[in-house]
Amino acid sequence: MNTTVAVGYDRTRPGEHALGVAAREAARRSGSLLVISAYHWLTPPEPHSMTPADTEATARKAAEEIAQYGAGRVRERHPDLPVEARAVAGYAGKVLAAASHEADLLVVGNRGTGGFHGLMLGSTSMRTLAEACCPVIVARGDTDDTHNRIIAAVDIDTDCDTILAFAFEEASRRAAGLTVTHVWDEPWIVAYGQQDPGIADDVARIERERDDRLTALVQTAQAKQPDVHAFHQLAIGSASGLLVEASHRADLLVTGARRHGEGRHGMLIGPVTQTLLQHAECPVAVVPQ
All domains in the chain, ordered by first residue: 1-139 (3.40.50.620), 143-289 (3.40.50.12370)
Ranges of the chain with pLDDT below 70: 1, 42-53, 111-122, 143, 186-198, 260-264
Beta strands in 90-229 (DSSP E): 105-108, 136-138, 149-153, 177-184
Look at residue 2 in the predicted model and tell me its pLDDT: 76
Write out pLDDT tens, residues 148-186: 999 999 999 999 999 999 999 999 999 999 999 999 876
Rg for the chain (alpha carbons), in Å? Answer: 21
- Return the closest-CA partner of residue 67 out of 110, 33, 94: 33
Contact 96, 36 (CB under 8 A): yes
The helix/strand/coil state of 84 is strand
Report phi then psi at 225, rounded to 5.
-135, 70
The helix/strand/coil state of 69 is helix
Query: Distance between CA 136 and CA 126 in Å, rounded?
Result: 11
Q: Residue 272 half-sphere exposure, CB side, CA atoms within 13 Å? A: 21
Which residues does 234 contact at the CB level (< 8 Å), separation at least 6?
Answer: 182, 184, 207, 210, 211, 214
**Is the Cα dihedral 277, 282, 283, 288 positive or negative?**
negative
Look at residue 97 in the predicted model and tell me its pLDDT: 94
Q: Write the single-letter amino acid at 286.
A: V
Which residues does 8 contact at the CB level (< 8 Å), separation at least 6?
Answer: 15, 18, 36, 37, 38, 92, 95, 96, 106, 107, 108, 109, 124, 128
Termini Cα distance of the chain: 23
Contact 156, 210 (CB under 8 A): yes
Look at residue 198 in the predicted model and tell me its pLDDT: 65
